[in-house]
Amino acid sequence: MVTYKLPHKEFFANLKNGKLLGLKCNSCGAYICPPKINCSECASLDLEIVELKGKVEIKSYTVIRVASEGFEDEVPYIVALAQLEEGPGLIGNIVGVDPDKITDDVIGKKATVGYKLPPSKLRYRGPIEEIEPEGLAFTFSLA
């Protein structure tokens, strides 16, 4: 049986404590984040857990104004594609910026990775460690 070197539960428990973990491939040197079972570049299973700097550059964004089910109280919000200094791309929400005032100037800006909980309607009422990982979203706070 193949096991996850860095299970999502452990990944999110660390993120909650301000530590962004990732995996480094010992075959090709690529970084992987969020964690996967094997290397995104060469499919190797020879991975080690590393701490990433948690710094990204904003590559693209869009403003969500039409909510999907459960997100009615969240709109408008900003979804962005960002690239970690170590290479991998992350999708998350830009926070601390008014969605009605954001401009393309944000592209190329540096930001710090954090996380946010799912909307309360979708939230499992228990300890954060038990929240389904898919329910958490990355956040990007502009530097």
Q: Which residues bind Zn ion (CB under 5 A)?
A: 25, 27-28, 30, 39, 41-42, 44
Which token pair is 69?
Answer: 């089910």
38-48 residues labelled b (16+ CB within 10 A) or e (exposed): bbbeeeeeebe
* 42 alpha carbon, distance to own chain's centre: 22
Min CB(1)–Zn ion separation in Å? 21
Cβ distance to Zn ion smaller for residue 30 or 128: 30
Min CB(89)–Zn ion separation in Å? 16
Min CB(90)–Zn ion separation in Å? 18
Interatomic CA distance for residues 53 and 32, integer angstroms: 13
Cβ distance to Zn ion smaller for residue 25 or 56: 25
Cβ distance to Zn ion smaller for residue 35 or 92: 35
Cβ distance to Zn ion smaller for residue 30 or 37: 30
Q: At CA 55, angle to CA 85 and CA 19, rounded to 5? A: 115
Interatomic CA distance for residues 48 and 45, integer angstroms: 9
Min CB(138)–Zn ion separation in Å? 23
Beta partners for 66? none
Cβ distance to Zn ion smaller for residue 26 or 60: 26
Min CB(31)–Zn ion separation in Å? 9
Find the radius of gyration of the CA atoms of the chain. Answer: 16
Strands 89-95 and 110-116: unpaired
